[in-house]
Amino acid sequence: MNIKSLLFASFCFLPATYSVAQTNGVINNANSPGVKLKSINITDCQWTSGFWADKFKVCEETMMPNMGELLTGDVGHALNNFKIAAGLKQGKHEGPNWHDGDFYKWMESAAYVYARNKDPKILKQLDDYIEIIAKAQQPDGYLQTQVQVKKLSRFANRQYHEMYNSGHLMTSACIYNRITGKTNFLDVAVRNADYLYKVFMPQPDSLKRFGFNQSQIMGLVELYRTTKDKRYLQLAELFINMRGKSKVEPDATANYKFIGDMVQERTPLRKEDEAVGHAVLALYFYAGAADVYAETGEKALIDALDRIWESVVDKKMYVTGACGQTHHGVSSNVDMVHEGFINDYMMPNLTAYNETCANIANAMFSYRMMGIHGESKYADIVELVLFNSALSGISIEGKDYFYANPLRVCSNAHDNPDADTEFDERIPYIDCFCCPPNLVRTIAQVSAWAYSLADNGIAVNLYGGNKLNTHLADGSVLSLTQNTNYPWEGSVTLTMQACKREPFKLMLRIPDWATGSTIKINGVDAALPAKAGEYATIERKWKKGDMVLLEMPMQVKLVQGNPLIEEVRNQVAVKRGPVVYCVESPDLPEDTRILDVYLPEDSKLTAKYQPGFLGGVATISGRVMLRKDKEDGMYTTLNKPEWEPYHLQLVPYFSWANRGKSEMTVWMPIMWKPE
């Protein structure tokens, strides 16, 4: 479908007013024609007990307020920058060029918390900040504090991150409107989007290649869904169509480090067959394109996104769901890339970059693809990221952060004073502060990802103790509860509290690891397949009190990599359910190195839930062999190794580095028993 012909008649003139959408999903796709599984409203699902309820409590009580203090004080400079741009304070712009976006993401997290606790202090605080932001906005709608305060030329350099900041402004403003019903923040976003439309739609030669960190595509689609103004959807598609149409060479807006595959501009998206370049830029781009497809249904667009998703998941993604194999490298087209994807199956562990934002963006992309295709495999990736490479970015306490998330850490490997994003201990403030608010807003909103509305039914995407009160597609009321100690136990009980009398579908995601799962209804075998990696669909007349029991086997499994991944040949990772485990040096004898740990293939590994350890986790224990002979040379002659058996405890990967500075590894060499 050509969206230009579809929309041309709709906006000969810019409207003076706009209508506000009535639905309020995190992704507001209730009326999106290209979506099979549609989002529930933001507050329809509430965590009640267990893992995610505990995480949300930490988010509400510690993560969100602590981050607010950082960004509105003098540690982070985001609010000060808006005050200076508004003429309310004297000073210079401080912090990175994308600091506005950091603040918008934090505001989004605060809005999600407010949606659940209705604390009037949060609402008053956000309204005060919105008033400052509105005063900082230029009369024509432009709003970028770093450009305004530094008196820079607009759109003169991709690295000003103007599009990134605008995208998060639009998204945050839409969420705030859906939660509060207020339009004060939305008015700011609309003026900014109208300005972008006026500047970019004529496609002046100087801006035909302009695009960097393309969060504005997602933001524009959400603004379209919120206001019903089709210009924003047209502009979102324009930012897709511009990529890959111009000669790739340095110009006034970008040097050689920020061109080509680095910014996904070498190949038009509809012709692309691999994930390339900066991982955050790429995955935001792909997620935004998925949002555009949800509205237009263009086959060429979804065909490309299908190829790219398979490239990410099957050839460039870590066992933790993390993305972005390297800090600095080259693409398959030999373009320089930064924090990015590199060639297929090149998966270093010690130098793995895996920016927290990239990992979260991987989940955002897969969540959108799940909605479009209605398939369980995409939710598997969302869950994998959430329990592993996303949560590793924040401490159990909720105040300290990782930016990069490698799969192996050895002493002194990252002790580089110039490495401002790679370190072995989480820190309370990262000068490049994009990841922390991204993670906190994700934790704050994840309950809205737990269920989706299907055609005459509900899909259960994520498991955790919760209560759901929603309306099915026909408007009928559905209320149910979910009780479970997932992911530490595989038993999940769903109980109908209220529902319509006519038959409807309950779709249970059977995770790709959960072979052998069983389903019972009111204690009786449901007599339907529960195939791993698919939704198990139960369609029947439901009534209040009906109970569905899903039992998922939670064996400890050893995971191996594709033989083409040289870095993990003859090594294994340990996984139980959706959680990937690691070895950490606090669990080893003194003076034992991570690289000395070998796992016998016949080792009996057992799990034990420890409620008072690392916030409450299941650990895994079993026999390993410690290599005692030490060789420090670059290359040495092999002698018969000296071994010592040891009973080792493994911890969830996301929980490492919460017991002081340590070494860590996900992958261990396997010791095969002789035939």
Is the distance from CB of 478 to CB of 468 less than 8 angstroms?
yes
Can you tell me whether residue 463 is helix, strand or coil? coil
Q: Are strands 597-600 and 668-671 parallel, antiparallel or unpaired?
A: parallel
Catalytic residue among 357, 434, 435, 499: 434
Q: Could you tell me how far CA 425 lies from the centroid of its own chain? A: 22
Is the distance from CB of 448 to CB of 26 less than 8 angstroms?
yes
CA distances from 152 to 36, 147, 211, 369, 427 (A): 45, 5, 18, 38, 32
Can you tell me whether residue 466 is helix, strand or coil? strand
Residue 313: count of CB within 10 angstroms of its CB: 21
Is the distance from CB of 157 to CB of 209 less than 8 angstroms?
no
Specify the DSSP element, H or E, that contains 341.
strand 336-341
Phi, psi (degrees; rounded to nearest 5) at 66: -65, -45
345 contact partners, CB below 8 Å, separation of at least 6: 315, 562, 564, 565, 566
Rounded CA gap, 326 and 335, in Å? 14
| Closest by Cα among 140, 128, 142 to 100 | 142
Catalytic residue among 339, 355, 567, 584: 339
> Residue 352 has which token pair?
């793995």
* CA diameter of the chain: 81
Active site residue 339: yes
Active site residue 434: yes
CA angle at 18 for the pair 16 and 19, rounded to the nearest 5°: 155
Q: Name the residues annotated as catalytic.
A: 339, 434
